[in-house]
Each structure stands twice: as structure tokens, then as C-alpha cells.
Amino acid sequence: MECIRKITTETTYPIVSSDLAVAVWDRWKLDWVPEPVPSSVSSSSSSLGSIRDTPSPKFPITTRLTTLTMRAIYLKPSSSLEVVLSLVEVEKFSDELFSTGGDIFGCHGGSGDAAVHLDLGREMLSKGNLLEALSHFDIAVDKDPSNYLTYFRRATALTQRGSVYLKQGHLDKASRDFEEIVHYDPNNAEAVGYLHQIAPLGEEIQHAKILYNNHDFQGAIILLSKAIDLCPWDPELREIRAECYIAQGDLFKAVGDIRPTTKLRNDNTPAFFKLANLYYEMGDADESLSQIRECLKLDPDHKECFPFYKKVKKLAKQLKEAQDLSNAESWDDCVAKAKAIMKTEPKGFPFVQRAKSHICHCLAKAGHGSDAIKACNEVLEMEPENLHAMCDRAEAPQWHPDKFQEEDEKKHAEKVFMDIAAAKEVLSDPVCILN
């Protein structure tokens, strides 16, 4: 009876008989038990006049059906013949109306479903379930394709869907949704605002790609950053900007762009492989191992991820063992394990540097003075400001110049001794103390 309540309370015309209204909705086969049709309704004949005779091309079906229904329920009970004829006209047009998903008073299942899917879309969007949200918005839009009285519900669904398309970087789809809104409501500020943003955005993205191909990485980054602000869910934009950062040597920022794409693309094994390699280049074997495992979860036999996994797993294990041996003061075993690290990865700067640092430290602690100094010097050649290596080398007192007789050896010892003296100035540094 909710529909009857809407008719009797939300229209500006007085309803003479609620029983007649019940009869109207009963003929429309709504899902409620109708009250009895008034006994005054008979089957005699009469004419409805101009309502029934109005040429259909001049009146949308919803307008004609509304007019016929209202005429039926506004007539006095004594006009039972006209009521019946009006109901015949209602029934004639109602099937066509319902077949389009329309609903004059919001009582039919089509628009009700639209509202449900609109709410579900919002809920999924708030939870980050992008694809499910978009699916619900699609259904909400399709449920009410043309009924003007459900326009505001449809406009809301179009706005939600259009904003998702924009964030995904689907500019054409977003434009179509916002243009449809503006077509019916030129003063819709939100839709107009979106269209003003989209218009130059496509050109800027194309320009950014040209700059990238021409190796103008900083110029491309500037334009891509503006585009990503509006299209944060477009994986391609992030992938291109990541390549720009890699070209500039900023691997940390590249990781920040690649990581979201693992969720923006389904089964994105290339992204996990890329992340694993970036972390490896930065010297983070543990995180590299974590990312390559994600790749193998998606494809256990991945031709690139699987061999890389075996290598980084071995290296991560050796690094941990070397650190554990150093912590346990097993100096000779620590040196042996560090040398094994350099066999596993002889070229990767971060890992070679870390292995040599272990050798420097463990040799110094084990009392192998000359070997320790040589190893520590190699670390300092790679990283001149390495305080750990300076502290370890400072523990080698055999380099006092007075201990050498040969002139060449004495000069070399003097240089080393001065370096050691400089290192002692930082021995109070917490880094040295902890080491």
C-alpha cells in the first residue's frame, strides 16, 4: 500500500476514493494484496474523451500513463464506467513502461533495484573494491535508462561511475557520463567541473609520453604527476613515471609508483618482478624475496620470477648467516660466509659492499691486522664515509710509522696512521660503540 500512500499524500489533487486507487494499482499487478474493487464499477460503455485519443508521439509514455491513472482515481465513484475504461488504457501502456525499467512513483522493482545497486556501489568503493563498485554503478545506471522521474538517482549513479572512470584514466567513458548529466542538467556544477578537468588532461598525458620517449624524464614527471592526481588508479601513468624515476636513479620513488599497480592490474606478475629487482638493486634482499614470492603465488612456474627467486633466496640466507656469525663473535666463520656472499653476487654494489664490511669487521676483531686494514680500505674505497670501516681500521695499531724502516713502507704507514688518527675522532660516535 506504499504506492497508494504516495499517490494520496504526495500529489496536489484530492483523491475521492482510495478504493478506486487500489483498483488501479491492482491492475498493475504490484506486490501487495489489493482491497476489494468497489461494487459500483460496472461494464457499461462511455467515452474517455481527449485523454485516450491524444496522439502518442506527442506524449512520452510515462506522461500518458500518469495522466490516465490520475484521471481514473480522481473520478467520482458514480463515474464507474470511465474508471474501468481508464484502467484498460493504463494496462495497455503499463507493460511498455515496465519493460523499460521505468517507475512513475518509485514503486516498481526496476528503480528500487537501481537504488540498491547505487548503495552497494558506494559501499564497495568505500572498501576499496573498485571493480565491484563499478559493476554496481553500471547496473544502477542501466536500471533507469530514460525515466525522468528517476533522473536524480540516475545522475548520482552516473556521477559515481564517471568519477571512477576518471580515476582509472578512462577519460572517454568518464566524459560520456558527465556529458549525459550536463545534457539534462546544464547547471550541474560537479559534472561541469569534471568535464573542465578532463578536456586538457588527455593532451597533457600524450605530451608526457612524448617527453618520456624523448628522454626528458623530469618534464614527463611533472606532467605525469598532475595527471596521477586526477587519475590515481591508472596503472599506466604510474608505470611510466616509475621508469622516469629509474632513469634518474631514484629507485625509492620508482618503488612507490610500481607498488600500487600490483592491485590496479589483476595477476600483475610483471609488477612484482619489477619490485623484486628494484629492492635487489637497493640492497634489500629480504624485501626482494618477499616481492618475488608474490609473483610465484600468481604463477609458480614464471620463467623470470622462479630463477630470480632461487638466487635471492640463497643470498638473503647468506646475509643473515653472516650477520648471525658476527653477532656470535665467530670471526673466522663470519669471514668465510662473507666471501661466499661475493661468490653468489659478485657485481651488485650493495651486497658486495656489505660482504666486504663483514670481512673488514670480522678480520679486525679476530686480530688479523694487515688483512683487516686491506679489507677496510676496500670498503672505504667504495664508501669513503663508512664509519664502521673507519672504526674497524682504527683498531689496527701495527701501522705506527716507527715500526717501519724502509722509506716507502714508512710513508705508506704514515698515511694510514693519519687516517686512523682521524677515525679515532669519531670513535665516540654511537655507531662505533654499537659496532
64 Cβ partners below 8 Å, 6+ apart?
54, 56, 93
How far apart are the C-alpha atoms of 53 and 70, rounded to whole Å? 16
Q: Which residues of the chain have pLDDT under 70?
A: 1-112, 130, 144-151, 153, 396-407, 409-410, 413-414, 416-435
At residue 14, the pLDDT reads 35
Contact 398, 434 (CB under 8 A): no
Query: Who's near 43: CB < 8 A, 6+ residues apart?
Result: 81, 84
Q: Which cell numbers in the block locate residue 395?
A: 683498531
- What's the grid cell of residue 157? 549513479
pLDDT at 184: 82
State the Cα–Cα distance between residues 121 and 145, nearest whole angstrom.
17
Q: What SS3 class is residue 301?
A: coil
pLDDT (0 to 100) of residue 146: 57
In order of their start, the domains of the chain are: 2-99 (no CATH), 109-187 (1.25.40.10), 329-435 (1.25.40)
